[in-house]
Structure 1
């Protein structure tokens, strides 16, 4: 019996699928030093496993999206999960850093197959219900990000770093039959519409030239870059500058993830009460910029105690939770026939821009303050707000759908 799209179980399954790419990052964070010791290399070199994993996440959706528009969402998700399982097992068995890097890149390619679930939402739900469903999926993603670092530390203590990858393989194995037997195909595709390089390029040309979809893709990428800057910069600031213990930092990270969940939940409640998505998105983007720029100003003034930085990061997280369901929904609405390609383009551009923001934070880190994090976050949130205001003026209405 198939899981009904309107049910809570359907949302939970989509949430777990959407969390697969993120779980491959957070659960491995506590094991970098142990992995380096086991393979005879430094933790900083092992950190490259995160980079190659994210590279796979950024590139693979560009192929998965158009394929899912032509053969369906389920085959792509199942293929990605199978690849994720085998790559996770290969990571667990790796005996050298080069082999681990290769396996992590393949693992990222596999995990990227689950990013098509946002196209599933576009297939099955209208604008209002799609906005609520995306918000619920974001809550599920952040539940995983809250528990993943703690779970990784526990698995590391029980059986070492290889057990973490084995656990990821088990999670993928559980999801495969769930997708195969629990989810119906959602895509409405034409079987005669064959996959070809020209048609794929044509789809992406439609996306980058579409004034609404591309505008919201860029706005979402700029807003998402602020979060990537926070993820990189917060660990550098709180542990290396403020001197907090990893466990204390973990609590701050979890609190920010909870703030994202609350923002997504609040957006859903506002939607049910008839509040326009444009109003919520405007408030969210303004909050993102105000909190980030406040952090930059206080840091430049030498007034950035951990408590203040934590409070401002939680406001950023709350604003991100408010904004992203509306941004994703607005991105997907205009091109329903190639929703998979739209989802892929949005995810790849956001990951690419996020990687750049993350790299800038690490490169500019002065070892004494949160300046690099605050500066990059202020710049990216200003860009997101400026793009949105420019788009609303040119479109003549606050949120085109």
Structure 2
């Protein structure tokens, strides 16, 4: 039986699909130190499992997007989730860090297909309905990410880091069954379109040249870089620097994920109250920049009480939940005929920014402070705000004035 797009079950399916990359990251965070100990690698080196995973999330969508525009979303996401299932099992069986890195790359290539979730929404919904649906999906993602770190810590206590990847394998298998049995094709496929390199290149060039879509891609990428810096840095800081146990860190990370969910829920209410996306974006990006800057300032002076650091990270998460549904909607809206390519470029650039910011945090980590995390979060958040004020808003004014 196919699930109807207007139903809660369809929103839940999209939310679970979109959460696959985040569960692949968040469940593993509490186990970085334990993974390093088991494989004989330093914690900072194990942090590269996050960077490799995000690198695959950045590159694979460039293939998935055009293929989904030509052949449909359904076969692509089914293939991708299947690859995620296989990659998760391979990670659980890895015997060394180099092998784990390779398996994480394959797992991420599978998870990358879920970047088509927002193209699916663009296929089926318009205007405020699309904005509300994207907010609902962000909420669903963060229900998963709220649970994932605590679940990862619990699994680590019950067994080992391998159990985490085993559970990801099981979760992916359940999602695959749901997709095969409940998800119908959403794209309007033009059988006359050819999947040629020249056509793919023109589609990507059209996205990169579009003044509004590309501007909002930059906003989303910089905002995503801010979040991924704290995702990687928080594990290194709270567990390795402050000596918190993984279960306590899982609670802190869940609180940050809960703040993202709260921001997305608030944005959904603001849609009902007819509050403009521009207003929400401006406020959210400003809060993120201020909170990141304060974290950097307090770190530089050596005053980093636990409650203050957590509060600032929660503020960044709340701002991200407010802004990202609006940034995604603004990115996808202008080019519905190549929504897959738009989603691919957007997801690729955002994940590449996340991989770079995550890698910088891991490389610059000094073993004792939050400096690398704060030093990467602050410029990323400022870049997101500047991209919106100096590029996206002027581009919208020019288009609307013409």
TM tier relative to shorter chain: over 0.9
CA distance, structure 2, for counterparts of residue 77 and residue 303 of structure 1 = 46
Shift of the alpha carbon at 1:53? Answer: 2.0
CA distance, structure 1, for counterparts of residue 400 and residue 321 of structure 2 = 18
CA distance, structure 2, for counterparts of residue 369 and residue 385 of structure 1 = 26
Show CA shifts across 1:220-243 (max 9, x none).
111111111111222333334444
CA distance, structure 2, for counterparts of residue 254 and residue 169 of structure 1 = 22
Q: Which residue of 2 aligns with 1:208?
A: 208
CA contact (8 A) 1:330 1:399 kept: no
CA distance, structure 1, for counterparts of residue 367 and residue 296 of structure 2 = 16
Q: Which residue of 2 aligns with 1:323?
A: 323
TM-score by length of 2: 0.93
Q: Which residue of 2 aligns with 1:4?
A: 4
Q: Structure 1's 92 and 369: CA in aligned 2 closer, same or farther, altered over 3 A?
A: closer
CA distance, structure 2, for counterparts of residue 362 and residue 40 of structure 1 = 17
Q: Which residue of 1 aligns with 2:192?
A: 192
Q: CA RMSD in A?
A: 2.1
Q: Which residue of 1 aligns with 2:311?
A: 311
Q: Structure 1's 216 and 83: CA in aligned 2 closer, same or farther, altered over 3 A?
A: same
Q: Which residue of 1 aligns with 2:140?
A: 140
Q: Structure 1's 396 and 148: CA in aligned 2 closer, same or farther, altered over 3 A?
A: same
Q: Structure 1's 174 and 327: CA in aligned 2 closer, same or farther, altered over 3 A?
A: same
Secondary structure of the corresponding residue to residue 258 of structure 2: helix
CA distance, structure 1, for counterparts of residue 341 and residue 253 of structure 2 = 32
Q: Structure 1's 153 and 312: CA in aligned 2 closer, same or farther, altered over 3 A?
A: closer
Q: Which moved more, 1:163-172 or 1:132-141?
A: 163-172
Q: Which residue of 1 aligns with 2:227?
A: 227
Q: Structure 1's 397 and 234: CA in aligned 2 closer, same or farther, altered over 3 A?
A: farther
Shift of the alpha carbon at 1:102? Answer: 2.3
Secondary structure of the corresponding residue to residue 244 of structure 1: coil
Q: Which residue of 2 aligns with 1:380?
A: 380
Q: Structure 1's 347 and 303: CA in aligned 2 closer, same or farther, altered over 3 A?
A: same
Q: Which has the higher contact order (CA 8 A, sep 6+)?
A: 2
CA contact (8 A) 1:277 1:399 kept: no
Q: Structure 1's 144 and 229: CA in aligned 2 closer, same or farther, altered over 3 A?
A: same
Q: Which moved more, 1:293-302 or 1:228-237?
A: 293-302
Q: Which residue of 1 aligns with 2:397?
A: 396
1:75 paired to 2:106: no
Shift of the alpha carbon at 1:33? Answer: 4.3
CA contact (8 A) 1:36 1:42 kept: yes
Q: Structure 1's 255 and 176: CA in aligned 2 closer, same or farther, altered over 3 A?
A: same
